[in-house]
Amino acid sequence: MIETIAVIGSGSWGTAITRLLAPNAEEVVVWSFEDEVVHGINENHHNPHQLRDYELHSNVRATNSMEEAMRNATAVLVAVPSPFLRSTCKKLAPYVAPDVPVLVLTKGVEQGTGCLMADVVAQELGGEERIAVLSGPNHAEEISQGTVSAAVIASPTPSVAELFRDVLVCPAFRVYLSEDVRGIEICAAVKNVIAIACGVAAELGAGDNTLAVLMTRGLAEVSRVAVAMGADPLTCMGLAGMGDLVATCTSRHSRNRTFGEALARGESLEEYERRTGMVVEGAQAAKSILELARAHDVEVPITRAVNALLYEGADVDVVVDGLLGRQSVEEFYGVVPGGRHDGCANE
């Protein structure tokens, strides 16, 4: 049992993950930027902003001081939205000892640099070898309810991945191990964009066949980007790829899917995020994935279509016609091992 685990971020995922950590730690300390959340967790064992009905374990407490959160922590999980990851880690850096392992729960690609989330954390906290990433079909709402789920953890250091497996695994949460950090991160980022497309299609009346086409062609898109980044294409067939893609594209819990539906009804990204209080990671990723794909000469027609809807004022009918008018090619074009990753701009 670990003495103290710090969770940086009090959103839905940061809150839900405490359910898995609490039985395996003497204390779980959640860092939150919001005083109301800190008070709610410490006084009522509930997060007043996210998963309000979920009662946190008695050994979970909160603070808005990063120094206090890290004071006795022997492991840290980072669960903040991707646009705020770098700035948060920069503030956290003075309090994280160089031998403390870090698990990154954030999904995405940083705009402007092409950095994956583990890259960002390594640059700000140092010690790439002590960093791990987690992904899989894991909606926070269901994790907090104890429903059966699974995830994959990857790290360049097997002992780090094993440590986080041991503090998270339980009968309702299966954890598998991998060394393909980049593959897992690319899967985690691109599937959110595909889910927005599925939401748009569903709202426009698409049937099951159409949604199945979007998901499978989306998976091919995920795989092309992953292979270009030097990842193992088999990763895309697993929990971080196909598993997370299905959950994110079909679930009522998916903010990316439900945002796609709202977008098709005419609601803007700003309106949706203000109404729900959640960051739509797929909307953030659409630009950065497109930049990354262009840099590596990878075709990403679904990502390009979502980007056009979000940021170019494109008409949805024109975008759909553009996708349907594409020439058919070999099903698995571009999914050939041997791609390379030249690093993000800040490396």
Catalytic residue numbers, as ranges: 191
Task: Kindly tell me the sign of the dihedral angle through the C-alpha atoms of 339, 340, 345, 347.
Answer: positive
Are the C-beta atoms of 11 and 280 separated by less than 8 Å?
Answer: no
Are the C-beta atoms of 31 and 69 separated by less than 8 Å?
Answer: yes
Burial (CB < 10 A; 0-12, 13-18, 19+), residue 219, is: buried
Reference 239, options 151, 134, 169; nearest CA is 151
Are the C-beta atoms of 98 and 322 separated by less than 8 Å?
Answer: no
Burial (CB < 10 A; 0-12, 13-18, 19+), residue 328, is: exposed
Q: Where are the beta strands (DSSP E) in 99-172?
A: 102-104, 131-135, 149-154
Tokens at residue 5, please? 């685990």
Distance CA 60, CA 246 (A): 32
Are the C-beta atoms of 37 and 47 separated by less than 8 Å?
Answer: yes
Separation in Å, CA 145 to CA 40, 51, 141, 249, 260: 19, 10, 7, 21, 26
Are the C-beta atoms of 27 and 3 separated by less than 8 Å?
Answer: yes
Separation in Å, CA 315 to CA 13, 112, 257, 303: 33, 26, 19, 15
Taking the mean position of all CA atoms in its chain, how far away is CA 266? 26
